[in-house]
Chains A and B, each alone.
Chain A
């Protein structure tokens, strides 16, 4: 790559207007510091807009911290992946930048036997270990769920005094906060326990196919491996079942109007209303622990706390059923296609190679359900409970007068929250008044303004000089960042009426665009529109029965948009880089999910 062709240095990039104080929002270790400029400027950093598409609040740094650290620990310390350590990170202008750390060539051989032993054990005992993983994760969820954040009482309970406990309520309050953080940390460690290996096995099958069938479309490989009954689709499937049941029990009309409370009350008044309401309640645990975001933001809305979201989708399904539209995913067709494709490729191989194909495919199919399903158990369920508990804590501090902002806590870092809690507890104990109510409100207001200013600004896709060739396997697999992709970024969009991306799910469709920049806008989508978004989350699944295709800025073959679209039989083009800013709602598009192109046909 030409030496002049490089991305800007973070040391030259100015803070967006109105966000000059943004560095105060994030911890020192996550910033580009002048003291280590030389090293940081010599590294190539790419923006992880796939997972953090918008700037994140100070508290939300916890997710970047834990995600990056826990991804790294498995490569570097648990499994000793021979060529790859973890991925280093920095926060700049509110966005997360990543830089993979390679292993020095001379250190690689000594890691090999360790890797073979450790990773080999996981592959050999995959299902047994995974069963145990589910038990461990349930333990985390239950422990998080059990945590209480209650206002401190006027008196320590009499029983505690009489039993000679010798501890007060602040001890438990502070302990519960630490426990919540630790449980979140635990969830993130478990998140990566199988993930890197899952991707590596997939990557191995992927590379094998690419050699046996040069230029085989990536989506062909994905479709051979991809699971059919994925837990990630369960929340949406539950809504579909509820829609059918609503028609069956005759509560459909009652559900269609008013607020959640009004609709549920109307259902309760009907003869078979109880039956439907029982099903509605039963579905919520655990399947409504489902965010319309990706679980990384305190602003994520989880269904279980916002029943209007699932009810909205449910109403849409009831309308579709009324029109005689099939709302079920074509699972039988997807399954039959998967078998056809696999069989046809296998038949093209000779007898020597076919068993290897089958072995690698078998391993990929064993490990890949984890790659798809972990998302529900960690991001949706575990983190959903974590965020719910932090909101509980926020309400406590609002009640204690620390701030009135309904989301104030999330404008503090997690360590500042610890200080605020101490402030609250200490003032309670000494019988004085805390400093927080004087200190935090204007700071939170200021930080909100800074966040708003950051959000107005689009991140640089990468920083500094890119490597000649991207060789880091996880960068390619998890983020879809290849040498080609980087050169496309450097070139910039050549022609705004034609975009190229990854051919993620086949088919050609024409229709009007609907640009969605946040999950709050999902209810604007009309039947037959083409969803254009920076990135989609799996929980957007219910809108996939309305749309005719998906176009995203970011995401590889195994990104959520790609997986869901293949599942729904919709064309998808991912990793276009700029579709959501170039395309305007209402423009007529032609999406070719086989060629990976998007054309703007008319305004």
Chain B
């Protein structure tokens, strides 16, 4: 095979860096910088935007796409849906140049050689405009879990490319006046975490911007139902300095998303009664997630929004692995601490105001 890593169609995470967003997309750039920061991330590689752009160019697809999009107006929802299907079919049906499929296959095989044969992977879209600090563009691209084998990976990469042209993405770009063809799509191919529990975490309290907290949301199994808002998660609030859990709200979790290995996909199954109303993380796991989130925030110098999983195969750090990381976008733009009115007076005046406005009436 003539394909080489040096072609820049495929770059392992540990060789990518945060500066390559235009090449590997936001999601992969985030993972690459997590790896660079020393966090535990399941190994994988990015299929670069170059692979996507050269495929479009080789098959002269830009012209086809542009023609279709320009034919409909931003407000014609029905027409948008129709051309979205057409464009996606177009991307899926045109063959990918051999040099590119070879590179993707090689990337997967090298990952298998490193981690294990017939390795199940997650194939995730990594667009060049998502995951930016300025815009919460989360969830725009597709994700395929428990994909096994080089052919399947190539096929899923193409599905990810096609997801750049969902009706929703087309509409979003239209609304925000973004040029459709200036967006490129990279794809992350990453070892599948065997998640006992998974979820998201923020290195501040999103309800009030309090930076002394880490807020963790967690469900049994894979985290996707949580991220997509289809499951009510457990919620844990951790003091960032002491790394002690200070609040636990355990949700009822009737279902969990788990691997369906035979079908190379996932399935939603019922959670047995005994586990349903039990916290999906132990205190030790809560602390471990918090510790990792705190380290990531420190490495990046700004509040972060992290996706994590408890990988059953891992023993160190209570099995915590990071699946995604992006800068927190809401409170980061505000002053560093919530502005508080009282208790500002120093010295005796402060002591007096404390005695006058008793603590207990403000507590809880």
List residues of chain A with CB under 8 Å of any chain B CB.
Answer: 81-84, 108, 112, 115-116, 119-120, 123, 197, 200-201, 203-204, 206-208, 210-217, 219-220, 341, 344-345, 348-350, 353, 356, 359-360, 363, 469-473, 476, 482-484, 503, 506, 508, 592, 594-595
Within 8 Å by CB of A594, from B244, B337, B347, lies B244
B210 touches A116 (CB 8 A): no
A sample of 27 inter-chain contacts (CB < 8 A) reads A82-B352, A112-B352, A119-B352, A120-B348, A208-B350, A210-B362, A212-B212, A212-B340, A213-B210, A213-B213, A215-B237, A216-B212, A341-B242, A348-B336, A348-B337, A350-B337, A353-B337, A353-B340, A356-B343, A356-B350, A359-B346, A360-B346, A363-B351, A471-B358, A506-B244, A594-B244, A594-B245
Does B262 have its Cβ within 8 Å of any Cβ on chain A? no
B337 touches A212 (CB 8 A): yes
A264→B160 CA distance, assembly (Å): 84
A206 touches B359 (CB 8 A): yes
B360 touches A200 (CB 8 A): no
B337 touches A471 (CB 8 A): no
1/0 per residue B328-364: CB within 8 Å of A? 0000000111101011101111111111101111111
In the assembled complex, which residues on chain A have CB atoms less than 8 Å from the CB atom of B179? none
B343 touches A213 (CB 8 A): no
B355 touches A82 (CB 8 A): yes
A219→B241 CA distance, assembly (Å): 12
In the assembled complex, which residues on chain A have CB atoms less than 8 Å from the CB atom of B337? 212, 348-350, 353
Minimum-distance CB pairs A-B, first 3: A471-B358, A213-B212, A204-B354
A115 touches B358 (CB 8 A): no
A306→B339 CA distance, assembly (Å): 57
A475→B335 CA distance, assembly (Å): 36
With known contacts A360-B350, A473-B354, A207–B336 Cβ distance under 8 A: no
A348→B239 CA distance, assembly (Å): 12
With known contacts A83-B355, A208-B350, A348–B244 Cβ distance under 8 A: no
With known contacts A217-B244, A472-B358, A595-B245, A482–B363 Cβ distance under 8 A: yes
A483 touches B359 (CB 8 A): no
Task: Please give the distance in Å from B21's CB to the nearest CB on chain A.
Answer: 29
B343 touches A207 (CB 8 A): yes
Within 8 Å by CB of A200, from B211, B241, B245, B351, lies B351
In the assembled complex, which residues on chain B have CB atoms less than 8 Å from the CB atom of A469? 360-361
In the assembled complex, which residues on chain A have CB atoms less than 8 Å from the CB atom of B363? 210, 482-484
In the assembled complex, which residues on chain B have CB atoms less than 8 Å from the CB atom of A216? 212, 239
A241→B52 CA distance, assembly (Å): 73
Within 8 Å by CB of A217, from B242, B340, B353, B362, lies B242
In the assembled complex, which residues on chain B have CB atoms less than 8 Å from the CB atom of A220? 239, 241-242
A350 touches B335 (CB 8 A): yes
With known contacts A214-B208, A356-B346, A506–B360 Cβ distance under 8 A: no
Find the B residue at minimum CB distance from A349.
B337
In the assembled complex, which residues on chain A have CB atoms less than 8 Å from the CB atom of B358? 83, 470-473, 476
B356 touches A82 (CB 8 A): yes
Find the B residue at minimum CB distance from A204.
B354
Within 8 Å by CB of A123, from B242, B348, B356, lies B348
In the assembled complex, which residues on chain A have CB atoms less than 8 Å from the CB atom of B212? 212-213, 216, 345, 348
A204 touches B350 (CB 8 A): yes
With known contacts A350-B335, A506-B244, A207–B359 Cβ distance under 8 A: yes
A203→B343 CA distance, assembly (Å): 11
Task: Please give the distance in Å from B182's CB to the nearest CB on chain A.
Answer: 38
Q: Which of A214, A350, A476 is packed against the most chain B CB atoms within 10 Å?
A: A214
Task: Please give the distance in Å from A78's CB to the nearest CB on chain B.
Answer: 15
Q: Which of A200, A204, A345, A503 is packed against the most chain B CB atoms within 10 Å?
A: A204
Task: Please give the distance in Å from B201's CB to the nearest CB on chain A.
Answer: 17
With known contacts A207-B354, A212-B337, A116–B245 Cβ distance under 8 A: no
Majority SS of interface residues in chain B? Answer: mixed
A69→B273 CA distance, assembly (Å): 59
Within 8 Å by CB of A344, from B240, B338, B361, lies B240
A210 touches B359 (CB 8 A): yes
In the assembled complex, which residues on chain A have CB atoms less than 8 Å from the CB atom of B237? 215
In the assembled complex, which residues on chain B have CB atoms less than 8 Å from the CB atom of A81? 355
In the assembled complex, which residues on chain B have CB atoms less than 8 Å from the CB atom of A592? 283
A204 touches B351 (CB 8 A): yes
1/0 per residue B203-230: CB within 8 Å of A? 0010010111100000000000000000
Does B275 have its Cβ within 8 Å of any Cβ on chain A? no
Find the B residue at minimum CB distance from A215.
B246
16 other contacts beyond A203-B359, A217-B239, A592-B283, with CB at 8 A cut-off?
A: A81-B355, A83-B358, A197-B351, A200-B354, A201-B351, A204-B343, A212-B343, A214-B205, A220-B241, A348-B211, A349-B337, A359-B347, A469-B360, A503-B244, A508-B283, A594-B245
A84 touches B336 (CB 8 A): no
A23→B16 CA distance, assembly (Å): 83
B348 touches A119 (CB 8 A): yes
Task: Please give the distance in Å from B362's CB to the nearest CB on chain A.
Answer: 8
A216→B338 CA distance, assembly (Å): 14
In the assembled complex, which residues on chain A have CB atoms less than 8 Å from the CB atom of B340? 211-212, 353
Find the B residue at minimum CB distance from A356.
B346
Within 8 Å by CB of A84, from B346, B355, B364, lies B355
A473→B348 CA distance, assembly (Å): 16
Does B269 have its Cβ within 8 Å of any Cβ on chain A? no
Does B82 have its Cβ within 8 Å of any Cβ on chain A? no
In the assembled complex, which residues on chain A have CB atoms less than 8 Å from the CB atom of B19? none
With known contacts A206-B359, A470-B360, A115–B352 Cβ distance under 8 A: yes
Q: Which of B213, B239, B346, B351 is packed against the most chain A CB atoms within 10 Å?
A: B351
Does B66 have its Cβ within 8 Å of any Cβ on chain A? no
A207→B352 CA distance, assembly (Å): 12
In the assembled complex, which residues on chain B have CB atoms less than 8 Å from the CB atom of A211? 340, 342-343
Q: Which of B208, B210, B337 is packed against the most chain A CB atoms within 10 Å?
A: B337
In the assembled complex, which residues on chain B have CB atoms less than 8 Å from the CB atom of A482? 360, 363
In the assembled complex, which residues on chain B have CB atoms less than 8 Å from the CB atom of A473? 354-355, 358-359
A363 touches B347 (CB 8 A): yes
Task: Please give the distance in Å from A596's CB to the nearest CB on chain B.
Answer: 10
In the assembled complex, which residues on chain B have CB atoms less than 8 Å from the CB atom of A120? 347-348
Q: Which of B213, B244, B340 is packed against the most chain A CB atoms within 10 Å?
A: B244
In the assembled complex, which residues on chain A have CB atoms less than 8 Å from the CB atom of B245? 594-595
Task: Please give the distance in Å from B138's CB to the nearest CB on chain A.
Answer: 26
In the assembled complex, which residues on chain B have CB atoms less than 8 Å from the CB atom of A345? 212, 241
Within 8 Å by CB of B359, from A197, A341, A344, A476, lies A476
Task: Please give the distance in Å from A587's CB to the nearest CB on chain B.
Answer: 21
A211→B246 CA distance, assembly (Å): 16
A356→B346 CA distance, assembly (Å): 6
In the assembled complex, which residues on chain A have CB atoms less than 8 Å from the CB atom of B350? 204, 208, 356, 360
With known contacts A214-B210, A360-B346, A363-B347, A344–B283 Cβ distance under 8 A: no
With known contacts A482-B363, A506-B242, A595-B283, A116–B344 Cβ distance under 8 A: no
Residues 159-206 (chain B) with a chain A CB within 8 angstroms: 205
Find the B residue at minimum CB distance from A345.
B241
A215→B210 CA distance, assembly (Å): 10
B343 touches A208 (CB 8 A): yes
Within 8 Å by CB of B241, from A112, A203, A341, lies A341
Within 8 Å by CB of A203, from B205, B208, B336, B354, lies B354
In the assembled complex, which residues on chain B have CB atoms less than 8 Å from the CB atom of A219? 242
A393→B228 CA distance, assembly (Å): 80
In the assembled complex, which residues on chain A have CB atoms less than 8 Å from the CB atom of B347? 120, 123, 359, 363
Task: Please give the distance in Å from A398's CB to the nearest CB on chain B.
Answer: 49
In the assembled complex, which residues on chain A have CB atoms less than 8 Å from the CB atom of B335? 350
A208→B345 CA distance, assembly (Å): 10
Find the B residue at minimum CB distance from A116.
B348
B242 touches A484 (CB 8 A): no
A123 touches B351 (CB 8 A): yes
Does B314 have its Cβ within 8 Å of any Cβ on chain A? no
Task: Please give the distance in Å from A123's CB to the nearest CB on chain B.
Answer: 6
With known contacts A115-B352, A203-B354, A204-B351, A484–B346 Cβ distance under 8 A: no
Within 8 Å by CB of B351, from A119, A213, A348, A594, lies A119
